[in-house]
Amino acid sequence: MSIRNFRPPRDLRRRITPIQSAISIAVLTVAIALQISYPLLKDEPLRLVTIAFVYWAAGAMLLHALFAYRIGFAVRFLLITFTYSLIIEQIGFRTTWPFGAYEYSGSLGYQIFGVPLVVPFAWVMMAYPLFIAARRIAPKWVFLVGGYGLMSWDLFLDPLMVSAGRWTWEITGRTVPFQPEIPLSNTLGWFLTGMGLMAILDRLIQKERRSVGVSRAIPEIFLFWSWVSGVIGNLFFFDRPGVALIGGIALGIIVFWYFLAVKFGRSD
């Protein structure tokens, strides 16, 4: 009788290096620090921090996509989300569909045919953690869960940006509860276009196993932070308890649903 040593198959997935991990954490930390400073600033410093936060946060999400799922995933996600959002924004502010009548100020920096460059990167920034969460929560309904998530996040975003003068709305009909400066059509438009983006991403980006040593912590932390900061900011700094309530409940559903999916769902 011979005894053979059993050798389990090697895990051929790419491994993240300590430097890559440190870079991801550092970029996310800068993004969160910039947002923490938001209520403490005004005028030009506030404008610059608003723009910088989006780029740093989008950078943190793209770095995670690169390190966790490889360059093909990251590039496809960036190109799809950036192109889709830019087209939607171009249609939106020119035709008023599907969001309503709005106009950007010149305070958000360089514009592409009237749309600030930072705006598509804001879509990139938030679509990534919601896309990851939606695939975990409901793999067969990514478009619906992800679209709802983007709509929920905008319940925090729009009143903050309108109050800062980054864009303005023409109000002609019903408005969002607790947000008389935001038309209800904007919320419905976000849900519709968000579902469209998530459907395209889910269709064109195949599911990938994460690199060894990479967790979902970066997008998870950012998603949780977006929810917590929206609630705390509106309650204690912006005097908008109604916004904290409606945004907190809406986005909180995604946050807690995702937590339950990770805690009690399948392992991967």
Tell me the CB-side half-sphere exposure of residue 74, using CA atoms within 13 A: 15
259 in helix, strand or coil?
helix
Tens-place pLDDT, residues 203-241: 999 887 777 778 899 999 999 999 999 999 999 999 999
Count how many domains the chain has: 1
Domain assignment of residue 7, yes or no:
no
Q: Where are the beta strands (DSSP E) in the chain?
A: 102-104, 111-112, 115-116, 167-169, 175-176, 179-183
Domain assignment of residue 8, yes or no:
no
Is pLDDT above 90 for 52?
Answer: yes
Domain assignment of residue 170, yes or no:
yes
Domain assignment of residue 4, yes or no:
no
Q: What is the distance between the alpha carbons of residues 218 and 147, in angstroms, rounded to a whole number?
A: 21
Is pLDDT above 90 for 6?
Answer: no
**Do strands 179-183 and 175-176 pair parallel, antiparallel, or not at all (unpaired)?**
antiparallel
Domain assignment of residue 5, yes or no:
no
Q: Which of 122, 204, 160, 134 is nearest to 39 (CA)?
A: 160
Report the share of the chain in percent with pLDDT over 70: 93
Q: How far is CA 63 from CA 20, 94, 104, 159, 228, in A?
A: 9, 33, 29, 29, 23
pLDDT band at residue 268 under the 50/70/90 scheme: low
Domain assignment of residue 9, yes or no:
no
Q: What is the domain extent for residue 78?
A: 18-264
Tens-place pLDDT, residues 118-175: 999 999 999 999 999 999 999 999 999 999 999 999 999 999 999 999 999 999 899 9
- pTM for this model (two decimals): 0.93
